Structure 1
């Protein structure tokens, strides 16, 4: 099973707690959907392993927020998982955690849980590389988003 997780950076003052408004963040383009002044809008992960959160689960109070954490906002039609919102403050906390985290240490803690799911020790180099790339992508996204003082909206969906 794959999980698609789209992350969008949203200026904190523009953020609304409306499922319809939040869903529109993920349709069209940044220029047509979001208010233009000073806005940047980016996706972090188009596809991730559902287990990416295992890397961060026990690492810090901000670890669980990295992938599937946030305040749930249930979709207007109530189908599918809720959208997740991280305030700018929580986004800064996640960014701080990720930028100081040692991936090797995170991997060593989670590898015994993850490797059996991805082919065992023979597949470790490939599996580790995939998780490390996703970690780097998430770190870059959160650091950039926190630098702008933005919040994060997540759209988790199973494919």
Structure 2
């Protein structure tokens, strides 16, 4: 199983509900994409992506039906593959990506961290490792914020993939 999660911005007219098309979307590695179309068109989270999701899970909802914090890392409509052992692709519409971008633009990372820290710190070396752990998650938060801000600015949807 892979140790990272890839998120890619896609113009809505180009988006297809085909697993073959979605697989082709991720054929190029992230460095090739970043060189070709720009830094904030793809984001890659390392093996802490599940824990990064935990940081957002405790955030209060703006409105019950929006719940953008549940969309940041692992959220989206699943597009299942023929081989059900492989992880599905997750798709956020352009409107959902804009809501996530708005949420991240105003999210207080320190407040989010305070909610999740007791659960996360034991996994990363405890209280003595908190400065390094906080920093790693804060950097990922800033990268996600930049990715979603650029995605929203372009009016794009988001496709997420956990290579298996």
TM range (shorter): 0.7 to 0.9
Identify the structure with the greater helix proportion.
2
How far is the alpha carbon of 1:3 from its aligned partner?
3.2
How far is the alpha carbon of 1:58 from its aligned partner?
2.2
Residues in 2 aligned to 1:114 and 1:84: alpha-carbon distance in whole angstroms = 25
Can you list the C-alpha shifts for 1:86-117, whole angstroms capped at 9, x where unaligned? 00000000000001101111111110111111
Secondary structure of the residue aligned to 1:44 is: strand
The two structures, once aligned, show a CA RMSD in angstroms of 2.5
1:124 to 106, 127, 130: 130
How far is the alpha carbon of 1:126 from its aligned partner?
0.5
Residues in 1 aligned to 2:141 and 2:56: alpha-carbon distance in whole angstroms = 10
Structure 1 pair 64–27 and aligned structure 2 pair: CA distance change class (3 A): same
Corresponding residue for residue 138 of structure 1: 144
Question: Given the two structures, how large is their TM-score scaled by the length of structure 2?
Answer: 0.84
Is the CA contact 2:41–2:151 (under 8 Å) kept in the aligned structure 1? no
Q: Note the residue ranges of structure 1 that are not aligned, 5 or more in a row.
A: 34-38
Secondary structure of the residue aligned to 1:67 is: coil
Residues in 2 aligned to 1:76 and 1:21: alpha-carbon distance in whole angstroms = 13
- Whether 1:69 aligns to 2:68 is no
How far is the alpha carbon of 1:47 from its aligned partner?
1.8
- Whether 1:85 aligns to 2:91 is yes
Is the CA contact 1:45–1:137 (under 8 Å) kept in the aligned structure 2? no
How far is the alpha carbon of 1:156 from its aligned partner?
1.7
How far is the alpha carbon of 1:75 from its aligned partner?
2.0
How far is the alpha carbon of 1:78 from its aligned partner?
3.0
Q: How does 1:88-103 map to 2 (within 5 A)?
A: 88-103=94-109
Runs (4+) off by over 6 Å: none
Question: Given the two structures, how large is their TM-score scaled by the length of structure 1?
Answer: 0.87
